[in-house]
Structure 1
Amino acid sequence: MQQSLSRLVAILHRSHAMYVNRVLKQWNITSGEVGFLMTLYQTEGRTQEQLCSILAIDKAAATRGLCSLENKGYITRQVNEQDKRCKCIYLTEKAKELRNSITTEVRAWNTGASELVGEQTYQNVCTNLETILQNMKSEQNHGI
């Protein structure tokens, strides 16, 4: 019988979410919020629409996560000088001070997974999942 990829991915996702919720609890950051911080750590000043696209989430989920992070003092929103209708999202000093701690905790889960199966196998799994994801997106865009 063939394994269910979607079931395994869903279980891994929930396992990762529980891990993130546990290790980031000390800073009151949830698994639903950490993706925004990790993305903004790479490049600040992104719009909500850009974050939705990068993280593959809908606008409602982004609004909830970003409002929560703003209320907790981790992000601020500033009007985009090129397009006054958009707001760009920036990290606060509080978020910047925690960057190393948060990224270390979040990346530890991936490191642990890599150590379990070996670096090459881990990279192959990631590459294969990326290929499946890209092909599925392409098929969806073409109405299949």
Structure 2
Amino acid sequence: MQHSLSRLVAILHRNHAMYVNRVLKPWNITSGEVGFLMTLYQEEGRTQEQLSSILSIDKAAATRALTSLQDKGYIQRRVNEQDKRCKCIYLTQKAKELRQVITTQVRTWNSKAANLIGESTYDQLCLSLETILSNEKAE
């Protein structure tokens, strides 16, 4: 029997999105927004284009997610001092205060998956998927 990687990844993605939507519902943060927060927790001051590229999300979807986060008071846009045409994205105090909660909730899902199949298998699976993705981007 041949397995369909794309089908399994799509189902896994939907399950993960439902989990994130459920656990972050008290803070009104959706699965489409959490990636932006997680990326900004690593480094603030990135442009919308940079975030879009890092997350492999089209610009329209990035605009919607960032506008929603701004409306909810989680991010703010500031004019880039080096290039006045660009706006950089920064976390608000509200978002910073939730960093531990959000990070823990997102990582819990990954930890459950790693525990289910074993840490080394989980790491190898992630490396294999990254290899496939980097090859697809190169083509």
Same fold (TM over 0.5): yes
Matches within 5 A, 1:1-144: 1-139=1-139
- Residue identity in the other structure for 2:129: L
- Residue identity in the other structure for 2:98: L
Figure out how many residues of one structure are paired with residues of the other and give that number.
139
Deviation of residue 2 (structure 1)? Answer: 1.4
Deviation of residue 7 (structure 1)? Answer: 0.2
Instruction: List structure 1 segments (4+ residues) > 6 angstroms apart after TM superposition.
Output: none
Q: CA RMSD in A?
A: 0.4
- Percent identity over the alignment? 78
- Residue identity in the other structure for 1:123: D
Question: What is the TM-score when the length of structure 2 is the normalising length?
Answer: 0.99
Deviation of residue 136 (structure 1)? Answer: 1.0
Question: What is the TM-score when the length of structure 1 is the normalising length?
Answer: 0.96
Distance 2:49 2:137 in 1: 18
- Structure 2: runs of 5 or more not aligned: none
Distance 2:28 2:88 in 1: 23
